[in-house]
Amino acid sequence: MTVSIVVVSHSEKIADGAVELAAQMAPDVMILPAGGTDDGRIGTSLEKVLAALEKAGSQGGGTGPEGTLVLTDLGSAVMTAESALEFLENPAGVLLADAPLVEGLVAAAVAAQGGADVQAVRKAAEGVPGAAPQPEPAAGEAEQEPVSSAPPDFTGDFELVNQAGMHARPAAKVAGGLASLDAEVTINGADGASMTGLMTLGAGKGTVLHVEAWGADAERAVEYVGGLVEAGFGEP
């Protein structure tokens, strides 16, 4: 069972469309829309949000160890989501993300598809461009040394052969698979587990991807990326 995701929007169409898009990248993740008012107008509905959260919980998301992430669009949607948490028997497993709705949702869905826990799924959502900046470490708090400061354990170079290059679907496949491995991976300098980071490379057909990996699953990670690239991600 993966982390579940609830989308709270002022528009039923926006919520449904965002869920449909994210589901293409993460077919095994439960993503539930809670958009618009009960009578179909623009606005938010506490009842809709509660119903979505309860459905997620009944599948193991809200009350189990997997957890549920909530993404919202505008200010009052945040307030509605926060109010809904007050009605839950166990709100501890439900987290709110401060992230752009569509970009954050896709990043979160890909992370959840890869088996990340709810904290990591929220981090993925809040790490996309346009999300609120993360707080700086407290004074005296040691910062973790970047993995890239050490020589990589394994590397590989692979040329993109599919016509469209590194667009959304290939980026989702790469990021989702790497997220489940015990490895830190960069691809042409971008975080290999970040779908949005990979898409911003603008890598088209013929581009050589330089993969560097650190950690216990470093070799598997490089082989995983190489296999996808050499197979053209299953595309023409």
Query: Which sequence positions are flagged as catalytic?
Result: 10
Three-state secondary structure along the chain? CCCEEEEEECCHHHHHHHHHHHHHHCCCCCEEEEECCCCCCCCCCHHHHHHHHHHHHHCCCCCCCCCEEEEECCHHHHHHHHHHHHHCCCHHHEEECCCCHHHHHHHHHHHHHCCCCHHHHHHHHHCCCCCCCCCCCCCCCCCCCCHHHCCCCEEEEEECCCCCCCCHHHHHHHHHHHHCCCCEEEECCEECCCHHHHHCCCCCCCCEEEEEEECCCHHHHHHHHHHHHHCHHHCC
Among the listed residues 62, 69, 81, the one whose alpha carbon sits nearest the alpha carbon of residue 22: 69
